[in-house]
Amino acid sequence: MKILVTGAKGFIGKNLIAELKNRNYTDIFEYSKETDPNLLDEYCKEADFVFHLAGVNRPIDSAEYMDGNYGFTSILLDTLKKFQNACTVMISSSTQAVLNNPYGISKKASEDLISKYSRETGAKVLVYRFPNVFGKWCKPNYNSAVATFCHNTAHGLPITVNDPSVVMNLIYIDDIVEELINALSDKETRVGDLCEIPIVHTITLGEIVKLISSFKVSREERSIPDMSDAFTKKLYSTYLSYLPDNMFSYDLNMNIDHRGSFTEFIKTPDRGQVSVNISKPGIVKGNHWHHTKNEKFLVVSGRGVIRFRKIDTNEVLEYFVSGEKLEVVDIPTGYTHNIENLGNTDMVTIMWANEYYNPEKPDTIYLEV
């Protein structure tokens, strides 16, 4: 299948083309402002499907809306007609097509034009009215508040919110791409004469800013947002894509003593805490038990033994562990336990606990195994 994508270097076009290639669509005609206009004839002659994503949304002169949206749409459709190519054409419109402003008027005119084209040629057309779109590679300080908020927060720049109660309807770039690729196989989502993206997130500007601000703080607190919430998960991925090139990494606080070190890696509000424990040769750590707190130990380097004793018995259980055979050892409640390094090198253990460490309620009772 030969696919023509107009607006190929734009936000949606760039993401769509990347995923098309990932799914082994190799015949892609990429058309953008930088493309030789003479190539449009060749592309329109050969295309089996057209994703018409090109458009103007922030010109210097409002008259450019009609030229860039309606005008180029007209050129594209006339070129397809010239070669009697009645392939499917998808067009990206906007929810503003119902508004009486220059941008909305130009988008509605483009919709009407492509509907007329469909009646005249019999070609299948797909009209999508996109609301606000967010995700990686979206240009900040242009036409996306989310991109601007993410970029400015990640770069330590101020953001301005005139009314935090404003409600936003947002769609995520990967959801758009998935829908558009489905359309290649006639599996688009239709609602009457229009198509739509099935997943729309509704949230206020104030809530968006609060979430993005929490993402920055999470690096300092070694926490991870609630990934069970679909919007939070998508927004967090978006935020990370705006990190400055020299700020991908961040330090952790290593608690070091003669025995080795203990470092908190990740904290989550609902899935507990992950830490890295390093034990020097011959060192024993632990000798305590918990009422409710439970843990999982995974030795990834070195070798040692994890010992258990039920607090009301004298029987000691031993589990020998090694980085040469990765296995998880559960630490049940009601068992005092310790871990000893039996090797000649540092032993590294990944430790998960079902809750953060709370110094006011540590649930950690000292008792020798």
Record the pTM.
Answer: 0.92
> Would residue 236 count as lying in a domain?
no
> Would residue 287 count as lying in a domain?
yes
> Would residue 318 count as lying in a domain?
yes
Identify the domain containing residue 328 by its residue range: 254-366
pLDDT score, position 357: 84
Number of domains in the chain: 2
The single residue of 43, 65, 103, 236 carrying the catalytic annotation is: 103
pLDDT score, position 215: 97
> Would residue 122 count as lying in a domain?
yes
pLDDT tens by residue, 124-182? 999 999 999 999 999 999 889 999 999 999 999 999 999 999 999 999 999 999 999 99
> Would residue 316 count as lying in a domain?
yes
Confidence of residue 104 (pLDDT cuts 50, 70, 90): confident
* CATH code (residue 276): 2.60.120.10
Q: Which of 130, 162, 185 is the last residue of a domain?
A: 130
Residues 11, 138: contact at Cβ < 8 Å?
yes
> Would residue 190 count as lying in a domain?
no
Q: What is the enclosing helix (H) or strand (E) of 176?
A: helix 173-183
* CATH code (residue 16): 3.40.50.720
pLDDT tens by residue, 229-287? 999 999 999 999 999 999 999 999 999 999 999 999 999 988 999 999 999 999 999 99
Active site residue 103: yes
> Rounded to whole angstroms, what are the CA distances from 3 to 45, 116, 189?
11, 22, 20
> Would residue 348 count as lying in a domain?
yes
> Would residue 269 count as lying in a domain?
yes
The set of residues, in sequence order, having a beta carbon less than 8 Å from that of 201 and lying 6+ positions away, is 169, 170, 171, 172, 230, 231, 234
Q: Which of 73, 102, 130 is the last residue of a domain?
A: 130
The set of residues, in sequence order, having a beta carbon less than 8 Å from that of 268 and lying 6+ positions away, is 223, 224, 226
Q: Which of 86, 112, 130 is the last residue of a domain?
A: 130
- By DSSP bridging, strand 49-52 and strand 254-257 are unpaired
